[in-house]
Amino acid sequence: MKILILGSGGREYSIARAISNEEEEHELFFQPGNGATSALGTNLNIKDYNDLAEFAKTNAIKLTIVGPEAPLVDGVVDIFKSKGLTIFGPSKEAAQLEGSKVYMKNFLAKYNIPTARYIETSSIEDAFKFTDTLTAPIVVKADGLCGGKGVIIAQNHDEAKVAISEMLSGKSFGDAGLKVIVEEFLDGYELSMFAVCDGEDYILLPAAQDHKRLLNNDEGPNTGGMGAYAPTPLVDEELYQKVKDRIIRPTLDGMQKEGAPFEGVLFIGIMVVNGEPITLEFNVRFGDPECEILMPLMTSSVSDMFLKASTNRLSEIKVEFSKQYAVGVVMASANYPYSSSTPAEIIVDESHHEEINDFTHISYAGVSEEDGVLYADGGRVLVCVGLGDSIKQARDRAYMRCGQVHFAGKKLRTDIAYQAL
């Protein structure tokens, strides 16, 4: 099967890697891909979505998978479907669940899906007034897409008001922050859950935990994510059932009523407070680095799941997962997340260790390739993934693989999965 994958990160690399490992042979194309995806398929440079759809049609691409949120919010799915192409991801309208935090919060309220108390406004006076009714810490969110960094957890009222002022003035996030959400801070533990949806049916994947902060002990600035593990022992069958009944089912039913059936990945950021799941936010694509640990846990066909979800046939398949655990550790460039870094050659030691060879791998993200050499290009460079029969074993293996990877200024956390150990 010919498959086109949109995106250039570790998420897209891990999807391609999982598909490449299937028994059925596939031909993969990437738009734009990265320096390492060229080893798995063909990188393209077709930025216009209409031109890309024409390429897909001309080259008999059977399935297109959209990785990042920006093309979804821009309406790439609508363009491909208008040309009779099969594509995995939500429509432009359904993608507003991530594209606008205001749309998402109002949707949650309309369909009685549990979420934190909030106000959405472009008025600094109203935002300040609501802030004064809350107890610190206080959560301030920009309305639009900010690459996973548009959420500020202010430790006091003054800090919250500075964040509000900087967002509404356009200083922090430009147009993405010209409307804000101020909401109560929920005290509990955070989870990432992913439902692969076809508009009506869905498959819930194992729950994961991400590590957003740059430094050990969850200190330092927010990032796109410095590591993750799955499945987390913090979720039992009762909690899974509550998420299905109170969040996923009402969301799919609600989106149908809104005239925008949800097809694609519904990524639910959940805070568990006293055993009850509360929705923090929705995203409309796989999390990164969560995708890098979920893909290797799937033992059934990844490409078939995406194909069936794209053609409203999820009820026809059973998705199966390994009984193992996966831990992913992000390696980032020296100046991440503050500024870009000078490209640095990546050296991966040759491994003669059976455990590393059999139970670990690398998913590449911010890399370029020149004359067969990979370079760290800044941002999050790669994810070292370890598999094991326990979280500790998976984590130990992931860090063994980290020890084999070298580039100038490499930065990583050394406490990924600490919550479960």
Q: Dump pLDDT digits (tens) for 371-382.
A: 999 999 989 999
pLDDT of 245 > 70? The answer is yes
In whole angstroms, what is the distance from residue 195 CA to residue 203 CA? 5
pLDDT grade, residue 170 (50/70/90)? confident
Q: What is the pLDDT of residue 148?
A: 67
In whole angstroms, what is the distance from residue 14 CA to residue 3 CA? 14
Q: Distance between terminal CA atoms of the chain?
A: 41
Residue 113 · residue 153 · CB < 8 Å: no
Burial class of residue 393 (count of CB atoms within 10 Å of its CB; 0-12, 13-18, 19+) = middle
Q: Can you list the domains of the chain with their CATH numbers?
A: 2-93 (3.40.50.20), 117-184 (3.30.1490.20), 189-316 (3.30.470.20), 325-420 (3.90.600.10)
Phi, psi of 275 (to 5 degrees): 80, 0
pLDDT grade, residue 174 (50/70/90)? confident
Phi, psi of 340 (to 5 degrees): -75, 160
Tell me the per-residue pLDDT of 198-237, one tens digit each, with 9 for 90 and over: 999 999 999 999 999 999 999 999 899 999 999 999 999 9
**What does the block give as tokens for 281?**
């936010």
The per-type count for the chain, helices as H runs and strands as E runs, is 14, 25
Instruction: Report percent pLDDT > 90 for the chain.
Output: 91
- What's at 149, amino acid-wise? K
In whole angstroms, what is the distance from residue 15 CA to residue 213 CA? 25
Nearest of 153, 49, 140, 144 to residue 97 by alpha carbon: 144
Tell me the per-residue pLDDT of 39-87, one tens digit each, with 9 for 90 and over: 999 999 999 999 999 999 999 999 999 999 999 999 999 999 999 999 9
Tell me the per-residue pLDDT of 129-152, one tens digit each, with 9 for 90 and over: 999 999 999 999 988 777 766 888
Nearest of 109, 116, 119 to residue 279 by alpha carbon: 116
In whole angstroms, what is the distance from residue 181 CA to residue 122 CA? 9
Q: What is the pLDDT of residue 220?
A: 94
Q: What is the pLDDT of residue 269?
A: 96
Nearest of 57, 60, 59, 67 to residue 31 by alpha carbon: 67
Tell me the per-residue pLDDT of 94-117, one tens digit each, with 9 for 90 and over: 999 999 988 999 999 999 999 999
